[in-house]
Chain A
């Protein structure tokens, strides 16, 4: 049963600290998406990749957020410096091309 995995599952940090979230997409999937979910905004698309190349990161605050895919089995989302308003659940999803996106369990981030 192939699944998207995300680490860490929970993260509590202090304002100003760097946060790195990791995602392992389903083997064979070539599109990877990063979403943020909050009570206020719902599910927001931050960035996505196809064949490891970033296609769109317009949903991401550029000054503090960065997303990369060092290889086909790892996607990272980094926040530096983190702020309390970044507190949210961050989801990674993967898919084959434009087919169904499958979501990971999420990283619950709390920035104090």
Chain B
């Protein structure tokens, strides 16, 4: 029979363009947020994090924006490259609570040459 799996939203971007990957988080008490990149056959790789006392944080070619009012997180990748093709996960946690992360289902980024 047909297999049913997680349907990952897919974002297709031309090489050199900027990418924006969005994530809605669930817990208004969450105060720590992380973006991971997972390439095929590999483990999730830390990209960037942000704490709730900030609304923007920049890394190398990546920027994370946090909007606590609407519980929204985004990852911006500048000048997207073929090596950026992967599944991107956001995760949230409450640092005064348990050690658990709540992971989003992920977004697949496809970079078109």
Chain B: residues with CB nearer than 8 A to chain A? Answer: 3-6, 32, 34, 36, 42-46, 49, 89, 93, 95, 98-101, 103, 105-106
Most chain B CB atoms below 10 A, which of A40, A43, A50, A56: A43
The 9 closest A-B pairs by CB, nearest first: A39-B5, A103-B43, A103-B44, A98-B95, A43-B103, A105-B43, A106-B43, A42-B6, A91-B43
Known: A42-B105, A48-B99. 4 other contacts (CB 8 A): A43-B89, A91-B43, A100-B34, A101-B46
Chain B residues touching A, majority SS: loop
Contact A103–B4 (Cβ < 8 Å): no
Chain A: residues with CB nearer than 8 A to chain B? Answer: 4, 31, 33, 39-43, 45, 48, 50, 55-56, 91, 93, 95, 97-98, 100-106
* B32 contacts across to A, CB distance below 8 A: 98
B3 contacts which of A39, A43, A45, A102 (Cβ < 8 Å)?
A39
Chain B nearest CB: distance from A96 CB in Å? 11
Contact B99–A100 (Cβ < 8 Å): no
Contact B99–A55 (Cβ < 8 Å): yes
* A95 contacts across to B, CB distance below 8 A: 99
Return 26 A-B CB contacts under 8 Å, by A number.
A4-B43, A33-B99, A39-B3, A39-B5, A40-B5, A42-B6, A42-B103, A42-B105, A42-B106, A45-B101, A50-B99, A55-B98, A56-B98, A56-B99, A56-B100, A91-B43, A93-B44, A97-B99, A98-B32, A98-B95, A98-B99, A100-B34, A101-B34, A103-B44, A105-B43, A106-B42
B100 contacts which of A41, A48, A103, A106 (Cβ < 8 Å)?
A48
Q: How far is the CA of A16 from the CA of B99 in the complex (A)?
A: 33
Given contacts A40-B5, A98-B32, are A91 and B44 in contact (CB under 8 A)? yes
Chain B nearest CB: distance from A111 CB in Å? 17
* B106 contacts across to A, CB distance below 8 A: 42
Contact B42–A105 (Cβ < 8 Å): yes
Chain A nearest CB: distance from B73 CB in Å? 15
Q: How far is the CA of A65 from the CA of B3 in the complex (A)?
A: 26
